[in-house]
Amino acid sequence: MNLRKIVTIVEEQLTEGGREVAPVHRVAIVLAVIDNPWAGRGFVADLGPGIDEIAPQLGALLAPRCVAALGGPVEAYGKAGIVGLDGELEHASGLIHTLKFGNHFREAARATTLLPAVEKVAPAGASFDIPLKHVTDATIRSHHQTVTAYVPDAPRPGEIVIGLAAASRGRPQERLAPLATEQ
């Protein structure tokens, strides 16, 4: 895996709607900028070998960093894969939609649910919104949220940005009725 850059973003929200957010809402995002392992090779039918090689390395790199950057228990999480313009959407999907990637985060976050994801093909500097859901029950409405990220110089056409995001709690002033009240 050729790694060019790691970006770690931490957001702390102290007020929302003019009121204090207690406890403070924290989000951590960690992004790795890597060479697209399939760049310049035309249409590669079998992505398996590349996935097997790189997805576990990304999971092992990003998961502990994301949990450490959050600095506390992970209540909601999500992931991202942004492919540079010379690549296929499938290249990002391949690297993030595998247990070889996601289980690193699931174990580090003590999570059990599917990781919601954003995937797109985009130029360097493109903004993307990472969806997050609760780590053990994806129906918990208070924890549905998104975080925005970008890297000014990535992904270059032959690169992929792979990311993980974690939140310390539900939305800053979450106060929606739970799903069960409508069923």
Binding piece for another protein, criterion CB under 8 A, among 13-21, 110-118, 133-141, 174-182: 13-21
* Binding to another protein, residues 122-161 (CB under 8 A): 127, 148, 150, 152, 156
4: contact with another protein by CB under 8 A = yes
> Which is it for strands 76-83 and 19-35: parallel, antiparallel or unpaired?
unpaired
Q: Which residues pair with 183 in a beta bridge?
A: none
CA–CA dist 89, 94 (Å, integer): 9
As measured in angstroms, the least distance from the Cβ of 119 to another protein is 19
60: contact with another protein by CB under 8 A = no
Nearer to another protein by C-beta: 79 or 156?
A: 156
As measured in angstroms, the least distance from the Cβ of 30 to another protein is 9
CA–CA dist 82, 29 (Å, integer): 14
Whether residue 157 is preceded by a cis peptide bond, meaning omega within 30 degrees of 0, is no
- Burial of residue 105 (CB within 10 Å: 0-12, 13-18, 19+) is buried
Nearer to another protein by C-beta: 127 or 139?
A: 127
Q: Could you give the count of Cα atoms lying within 13 Å of 94 in the half-sphere of its Cβ?
A: 21
22: contact with another protein by CB under 8 A = no
Residues near another protein (CB under 8 A) are 2-16, 127, 148, 150, 152, 156
